Amino acid sequence: MEITTHDLLTVLHGMGFGALFMLAFSGAIVELYRLSAPGLPSAMSVREQSMLNFYLIAMVVLAWLTVFSGAYVIYPWYRAVPPAGITDLADYPRRLLLSSGKTSQWHNLGMEWKEHAAWLAPIAITMVAYVTMKYGRSIINHRKMRVGVLAFTVAAFVATGIAGAFGAFLSKYAPVRGGEVIILMGGGK
């Protein structure tokens, strides 16, 4: 069983950071909605507030790790320019997608939208974490602020969804390959 360094880091970017960040939205949205919903018991204990703060800080770290690893580690491999005369474009995902009318829109729409929309998520979730921590339990007294915070949380989720969905499809049609081979496990036949 083998994996290349490019494969491994792509998985770390997509699954280790991105998917974990996306999964965390379910908890964040529920908790922030609970704070915002009229008629629900919304007051938080000190422990609950600390947990929410820790949770949101973890989301902020994951969000920034996702976009920076995507842009500065994976993207250069994706957009690598093949040497002149090369016919096998398997190691050059962008060029591979653009080489056929059947796949070019995966780059022109999918990758182009993904690589830009993704950056809206860390901006939004950083604000959400800051406001939630700044106001602590007293945020329950600022109903309209909570609405704004919740709206930006949903927007961050949408941006992450766009990036994640296209990332999954792009990995299907033009995976980032190459790098050193790491042997994970020896096998029989």
Partner 1 sequence: MTDRQKTAVFTQAAETDKPNGPGAAAILAAGIGSAIFGLVTLASEVSGAIGRLLNFYDPVGPLSGKTTVGIIAWLIVWFVLARLWQKETVNMTSVNIAALMLLGVGFLLTFPPVWELFGG
Residue 87, interface with partner 1 (CB under 8 A)? no
Residue among 47, 102, 172, 189 that touches partner 1 (CB under 8 A): 47
Side chain identity at 171, as an amino acid letter? Answer: S
Which residue stretch of 1-9, 24-32, 52-60, 132-140 sits at the interface with partner 1 (rule: CB under 8 A)?
Answer: 132-140
Residue 161, interface with partner 1 (CB under 8 A)? no
Please, what is the minimum distance in Å from the beta carbon of residue 3 to partner 1?
Answer: 22
Residue among 43, 84, 183, 185 that touches partner 1 (CB under 8 A): 43
Residue among 28, 62, 96, 149 that touches partner 1 (CB under 8 A): 149
Q: Is 60 exposed, middle or buried (0-12, 13-18, 19+ CB in 10 A)?
A: middle
Q: How far is CA 22 from the centre of its chain?
A: 6
Residue 54, interface with partner 1 (CB under 8 A)? no
Q: Which helix (H) or strand (E) holds 181?
A: strand 181-183
Angle value at C-alpha 24, between 18 and 27, nearest 5 degrees: 165
Beta-carbon contacts of residue 37 (< 8 Å; ≥ 6 apart): none
Residue 81 forms beta bridges with which residues?
A: none
Task: Give 61 or 158: the residue with its C-beta nearer to partner 1.
Answer: 158
Token reading at 36: 């915002």
Q: Which helix (H) or strand (E) holds 3?
A: strand 2-4
Q: Which residues of this chain interact with partner 1, rule CB under 8 A?
A: 43-48, 67, 71-72, 75-76, 79, 108-109, 112-113, 115-117, 119-120, 123-124, 126-127, 130-131, 134-135, 137-142, 144-145, 147-149, 151-152, 155, 158-159
